[in-house]
Amino acid sequence: MEHLHPWFIAAAFGVSAVLLVADAVLPRIKFQSILRGILLRDRRPSNPERPAP
């Protein structure tokens, strides 16, 4: 098993890196999509101005 240790280490750190990157990037994508959603909603001409809740 000894010779495989570097692969285990690489796997552990690799998975961690992937999860961390996902944690940083996914909310950013969601943020952009919310902004886009607001723009689309406001640009629709047939949409009467919604009163603030």
The site for another protein (CB under 8 A) is made up of 1-2, 4-6, 8-9, 11-13, 15-16, 19-20, 22-24, 27-28, 30-31, 34-39, 42, 50, 52-53
CA distance 25 to 30: 9
In the complex, least distance from residue 31 CB atom to another protein, rounded to whole angstroms: 5
Residue 33 has a CB neighbour count (10 Å cut-off) of 10
The answer to whether 40 and 47 are in contact (CB under 8 A) is: no
- From first CA to last CA, the distance across the chain in angstroms is 62
In the complex, least distance from residue 37 CB atom to another protein, rounded to whole angstroms: 7
Please identify, using beta-carbon distances, which residue of 24 and 46 lies nearer to another protein.
24
